[in-house]
Amino acid sequence: MKSFEYLRPETLDEALAALSDPDAASLGGGTNLLDLMKLGVAGPERIVDLARLPGLDRIETLPDGMTRVGALVRNSDLAADPGFAAAFPMVAEALLSGASAQLRNAATVGGNLMQATRCAYFQDPFAACNRRAAGSGCDALGGANRGHAVLGWSPACIAVHPSDFCVPLAALGAEAEIAGPSGTRLVPLAEFHLLPGEEPHRATALEPGEIVLALRLPAAAAGFAGNARYLKLRERTSYAFAVVSAAAALRIEDGTVAAARLALGGVAARPWRCSEAEEALAGKPATAESFAAAASIALSNAAPSGANGYKIVLAERLLARTMAAAAAGTPAEMPALPGSLMDDTGEAAHA
Amino acid sequence: MTLSITLTVNGTPHHLALDDMRVTLLDLLRDRLGLTGTKKGCDRGQCGACTVLVDGRRLNACLSLAVQQDGADIVTIEGLAPEGSLHPVQEAFLEHDAFQCGYCTPGQIMSAAGLIAEGADGTDMERIREGMSGNICRCGAYRGIAEAVAEAARKARTEADA
Ligand SMILES: Cc1cc2nc3c(=O)[nH]c(=O)nc-3n(C[C@H](O)[C@H](O)[C@H](O)COP(=O)(O)OP(=O)(O)OC[C@H]3O[C@@H](n4cnc5c(N)ncnc54)[C@H](O)[C@@H]3O)c2cc1C
Ligand code: SF4
Ligand code: FES
Ligand code: FES
């Protein structure tokens, strides 16, 4: 690991001043940054620990009814907050389906949004990777790419964003509150992560020197609390990243879907909001047929980027199944295995 | 750069001058404080062998800089119970033969202590297994581990009710 200077600012102004150095990096819990530094993938000259910034460890309701979650709130605390989990159950389920209890205790909201892809070539400093080293190529193209993207990818990069948390957030129209030298701005979460295009080196809408201050969820998003699920397919039941995942929240009136909020994870460089499928589902009966039709629309533009065509079918079926699970009603209690399909089979899920 | 930090480890305050910011909490505990009960498995957050309690909550010591924890109260396996006695989770691990080689055991025990403190274990074995999924056991002693955690959780609840 490269050595670095460590700063722990006490105010936002101090933090932004410290981050004006182009070789500086923000530190949340450290569970991703430290890992990448050990691997030699990240090598900041200066670490700006945000832990002491005031007011960012709070979950609050703004006068306009928005829920605001500070960037320093721990993933575990957010999932366990009774008010938050009741209003946004699929966000809590997604959080609890991610990583492990130890990691969720350390991981912050800001760090979760900003976490890097888990593409194995990105994590290997000796591999060609346009995302890590602009213009160096992409060893995942034609390499081990079973886990890679089927939507929104480009020949420059086929990586997926690994966050579970971000998937229901994108579906619910959450926004990231970003602070920088020229003030604060809001970016919709569904556009916060950039599609690779020609420039996979840039992963998010954050400009150099900016930080994520908070997350905002619109008041209307809580209107979906009664019918909302997050389901995540993994290679083992727990403590594994998604192969594909889906968030579905429905407002059902008299057996008809009045409104839907849908997104997919593990399929693209951003959490993939399925707006066309949402529109197609609105006004349709809440039946398996409607869900299958909407899911098929969501994947209609998908294309394999390698040995990952199976994900297209998997994502389509999972999305339909997640809508069905949402239609059946948000469970009264958080499932023992959050996000798991094993939970409703009645069979032992662990060996 | 050099920075002075204060850590309370197993009840004892330590004032430490760090001349290298790179040292992780795990390396500090093992190499500087000689507390080698906390193990290094993967050093990447993938195994849980390095689990300690920081301000009462379980964390992977390998994925935290020591300097990040300035001011924190840390409990390692050495300090879980007073010298000469065993913590209920330790007793339950012995009772249920919840290990083979023992390498993952300190992390498992600290994680179980954290899980029980969180109060989210329920009495449901599935919740216990899910709650313990951040601790890998290469020897596959999971059955004994889950039973030990369940028993310790049950005891903790009976005591809390008494
Ligand atoms: C073994 C393992 C398994 C995992 N499994 C899952 C999983 O199943 N699902 C899942 O979703 N995640 C998983 N994760 C990832 C985990 O969720 C992230 O590591 C965590 O959310 C990052 O948060 P942090 O606060 O520790 O970030 P840090 O490591 O501190 O930071 C991550 C990045 O964000 C930047 N950053 C941090 N805070 C801010 C801010 N406020 N503003 C701007 N930039 C900021 C940092 O500079 C860095 O680039 C796993 C991680 C590990 C190690
Ligand atoms: S897929 Fe993207 S992250 Fe992976 S090697 Fe190619 S350019 Fe890098
Ligand atoms: S050594 Fe820390 S999780 Fe493996
Ligand atoms: S007892 Fe050997 S790794 Fe768990």
CB within 6 Å of ligand 3 — which residues?
B 40-43, 45-50, 60, 62
CB B105 within 8 A of CB B98: yes
Judged on CB neighbours under 10 Å (0-12, 13-18, 19+), A232 is buried
Residue-level pLDDT at B122: 64
Residue A312 lies in a domain: yes
Question: Quick one: CA dihedral A2, A3, A9, A15, positive or negative?
Answer: negative
> Could A103 and B126 be called an inter-chain contact, meaning their C-beta atoms sit closer than 8 Å?
no
Q: Which residue has the tokens 């949340």?
A: A28
Residue-level pLDDT at B158: 84
What range defines the domain where residue A247 resides? 224-327
| pLDDT averaged over 10-residue windows placed end to end, chain A, 351 residues | 97 98 97 98 98 98 97 98 98 98 98 98 98 98 97 98 98 98 96 96 97 98 98 97 98 98 98 98 98 98 98 98 98 95 56 38
More confident residue, B155 or B66: B66
Encoding tokens for residue A140? Answer: 């995942």
Which positions in chain A touch B124 (Cβ < 8 Å)? 336
Residue-level pLDDT at A350: 43
For residue range B18-76, list pLDDT tens digits in order: 999 999 999 999 999 999 999 999 999 999 999 999 999 999 999 999 999 999 999 99
For residue range B76-129, list pLDDT tens digits in order: 999 999 999 999 999 999 999 999 999 999 999 999 999 999 986 566 899 999
CA A33 to chain centroid, in Å, comes to: 17
Q: Which residue, A329, A101, A270, is CA-closest to B60?
A: A101
Instruction: Give phi and psi for B141, each to the nearest 5.
Output: -85, 25
Q: pTM here?
A: 0.97
User: CB-based contact (8 Å) between A342 and chain B?
Assistant: no
Residue-level pLDDT at B120: 67
Cα nearest neighbour of B55 on chain A = A105
Residue A93 lies in a domain: no
Instruction: Give phi and psi for A34, each to the nearest 5.
Output: -65, -40
Residues of A300-315 as b/e, b for ≥16 C-beta within 10 angstroms? Answer: eebebbbebeebbebb
> Could B24 and A34 be called an inter-chain contact, meaning their C-beta atoms sit closer than 8 Å?
yes
Residue-level pLDDT at B124: 86
CATH label of the domain that carries residue A27: 3.30.43.10
The count of domains in chain A is 2
Encoding tokens for residue B146? Answer: 């889950």
CA distance B161 to chain A (A): 23
> Could B127 and A349 be called an inter-chain contact, meaning their C-beta atoms sit closer than 8 Å?
no
Cα–Cα distance measured from residue A139 to residue B73, given in angstroms and rounded to the nearest whole number: 44
Residue A143 lies in a domain: no
Nearest ligand to the CA of B45 is 3
CATH label of the domain that carries residue A279: 3.30.390.50
Cα–Cα distance measured from residue A151 to residue A302, given in angstroms and rounded to the nearest whole number: 5
Please name each of the domains of chain B with its CATH number.
Answer: 3-79 (3.10.20.30), 88-161 (1.10.150.120)
Residue-level pLDDT at A92: 98
> Could B133 and A351 be called an inter-chain contact, meaning their C-beta atoms sit closer than 8 Å?
no
Q: Which helix (H) or strand (E) holds B145?
A: helix B142-161
Residue A250 lies in a domain: yes
Quote the ligand 3 centre to A206 CA distance (angstroms). 30
Encoding tokens for residue B32? Answer: 């500087």
What ipTM does the predicted assembly reach?
Answer: 0.97
Measure Cα distances from A295 to A13, A226, A325 in Å: 46, 21, 14
CB within 6 Å of ligand 2 — which residues?
A 117, 119, 121-122, 129-132, 138-140, 157-159, 200
Question: Quick one: CA dihedral A216, A263, A162, A239, positive or negative?
Answer: positive
Residue-level pLDDT at B121: 59
Question: Quick one: CA dihedral B80, B84, B85, B91, positive or negative?
Answer: positive
